[in-house]
Amino acid sequence: MKSITIKGSKRESVGKTASKALRNAGMVPCVIYGGEQPLHFSAEEKAFKGLVYTPNVYTASIDIDGKVIPAILQDIQFHPVSDKIIHIDFYQLFDDKEITMNIPVVLVGKSKGVAIGGALRHNVRKMKVKALPANLPDFIEADITELEIGNKLYITSLKNEKYTILHPDNTVVAQVRMSRNASKAAAAEGKK
């Protein structure tokens, strides 16, 4: 999985007034959980642009005063009016500990059903996946080439040994349905 480096500095004072002063200076107060103790730090707001405002999923390498900590984005809080980032929680990664993340689903191929006039529905755009950090994929590829009109692609066809998908087996990832134009064409064929 791709990683984004974020440079930050350790916070000495933690609290409402210190956090407000940081935000006024264009910084974002952050916390890393999962280690021995929570680690409080701050970083510039623009450093999170590639991590937050993207449909892709990345891990974060947080550089705090020369010490690099691998982590994932756990929670983010936005200001209700200005939509600025006001706080971010990270979770520290360990090589031997499994984590759960939402991974994007990418549809590949040209469906046979869509080629003859069906409508493609992409039902699941992100999947909850559990794996070791080294085995986390950047995205999950779903091949829709064999889907005819009325067919569905289930989670079971996307199973992998490296990670566990935390959705029920009967979850539909994508399906091809009869479109209005295709049904009108079929009705016109039936009248001839």
59-91 pLDDT per residue, tens: 889 999 888 999 998 889 999 998 889 999 999
160 pLDDT above the threshold of 60: yes
190 pLDDT above the threshold of 60: no
Which residues face 168 on adjacent strands? none
pLDDT digits (tens, 9 = 90+) for 112-147: 888 888 889 999 999 999 999 888 888 999 999 999
What would the 3-class secondary structure string for 114-129 be? Answer: HHCCCEEEECCCEEEE
**pTM for this structure?**
0.76
23 pLDDT above the threshold of 80: yes
Which residues face 90 on adjacent strands? 32, 73
Domains contained in the chain, CATH given: 3-92 (2.40.240.10), 99-191 (2.170.120.20)
Structure tokens given for 18: 């210190």
* Residue reference for tokens 């009325």: 150
Strand order in the sheet with 164-165: 140-143, 99-108, 126-131, 164-165
Structure tokens given for 84: 């600025």
What is the C-alpha separation between 90 and 51, in angstroms, rounded?
12
Residue 31, classified by CB atoms within 10 Å of its CB into exposed (0-12), middle (13-18) or buried (19+), is: middle
Which residues face 99 on adjacent strands? 131
What is the C-alpha separation between 104 and 20, in angstroms, rounded?
34
What is the C-alpha separation between 130 and 133, in angstroms, rounded?
9
